[in-house]
């Protein structure tokens, strides 16, 4: 009888292990995370708690915060630094096999890299736009045109609160690989980044401009679940 119970217990454990294995995602543990739905915020560089109350909050190594939420069309990101000094940021996404760098500082610009042999090759450098920090009709028209053309928008560093940035990025896929690196005016070559274990070229400074070839590892980035 004891032998029967032992064999039965082993069999049940085996079934449970098989079932658990079938249910697990093929992604690394913790890699895929869901982005909550929220009401579109005003992209003005001020993180209003009433606008961002539905957001998911991730914490950088220094205690700064990354807020994420979405609606049916856009992903919304906000970065809040722990100090009051001005910040700039690079938001990296992988879309349709290409890597996009969405840069916000005193101006906005998009750079694009395509896969090459064991590396990524630059196919588009930054073309700086949206430098104006006012809300004139001309400035708003330029921002609207940038959003339509580039598929994203952010408040520049000179708009809103100096240590806060807000982004909106058009959703092009249900799952979006994403990495974020920001820097402070006191240390423009330093990088504060997410995910915390980033080790590719997303965290490397580029004081002489973007290199032609870079080593990105988007498989190690955060993977956002943007399904409705």
Q: Are 201 and 83 in contact (CB under 8 A)?
A: no
The pLDDT-based confidence of 32 (bands split at 50, 70, 90) is: confident
Domains and CATH numbers, the chain: 28-225 (2.60.40)
pLDDT, the chain, mean: 89
| Residue 135 CA: distances (Å) to CA of 47, 140, 209, 216 | 17, 6, 30, 36
Query: In sequence order, what DSSP letters do the residues of 78-100 get, joined into one string?
Result: EEE-SSSS-EEEEEEEEETTEEE
Q: What is the pLDDT of residue 34?
A: 94
Percent of the chain with pLDDT over 90: 85
Average pLDDT of the segment spanning 54-65: 97
C-alpha 160/C-alpha 157 separation (Å) is: 8
Q: What is the pLDDT of residue 31?
A: 64
* Tens-digit pLDDT profile for residues 76-134: 999 999 999 999 999 999 999 999 999 999 999 999 999 999 999 999 999 999 999 99
pLDDT for residue 13 is more than 50? no
Q: If phi over 0 gives left and psi between -120 and 50 gives alpha, with beta otherwise, what is residue 33?
A: beta
pLDDT for residue 17 is more than 70? no
pLDDT for residue 10 is more than 60? no
The pLDDT-based confidence of 189 (bands split at 50, 70, 90) is: very high
C-alpha 198/C-alpha 53 separation (Å) is: 28
Q: What is the pTM of this model?
A: 0.86
pLDDT for residue 66 is more than 70? yes
What is the b/e burial string over 81-102, where b = at least 16 CB atoms within 10 angstroms of the residue's CB?
Answer: beeeebbbbbbbbbbeeebbbb
The pLDDT-based confidence of 12 (bands split at 50, 70, 90) is: very low
């Amino acid at each position: 009888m004891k032998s029967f119970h032992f064999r039965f217990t082993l069999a049940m454990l085996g079934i449970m292990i098989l079932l658990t294995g079938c249910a697990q995602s093929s992604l690394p543990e913790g890699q895929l995370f869901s982005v909550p739905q929220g009401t579109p915020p005003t992209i003005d560089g001020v993180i209003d708690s009433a606008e961002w109350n539905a957001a998911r909050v991730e914490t950088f190594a220094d205690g700064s915060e990354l807020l994420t939420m979405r609606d049916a069309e856009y992903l919304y990101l906000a970065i809040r630094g722990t100090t009051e000094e001005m910040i700039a940021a690079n938001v990296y996404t992988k879309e349709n096999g290409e890597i996009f760098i969405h840069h916000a500082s005193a101006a906005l610009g998009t750079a694009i890299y395509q896969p090459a042999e064991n590396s990524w090759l630059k196919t588009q450098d930054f073309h700086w736009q949206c430098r104006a920090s006012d809300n004139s009709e001309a400035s708003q028209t330029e921002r609207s045109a940038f959003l339509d053309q580039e598929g994203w928008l952010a408040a520049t560093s000179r708009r809103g609160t100096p240590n806060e940035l807000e982004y909106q990025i058009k959703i092009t896929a249900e799952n979006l690989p994403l990495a974020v690196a920001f820097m402070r005016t006191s240390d423009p070559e330093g990088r504060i980044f997410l995910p915390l274990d980033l080790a590719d070229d997303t965290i490397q400074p580029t004081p002489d401009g973007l290199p032609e070839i870079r080593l990105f590892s988007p498989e190690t980035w955060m993977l956002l679940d943007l399904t409705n």
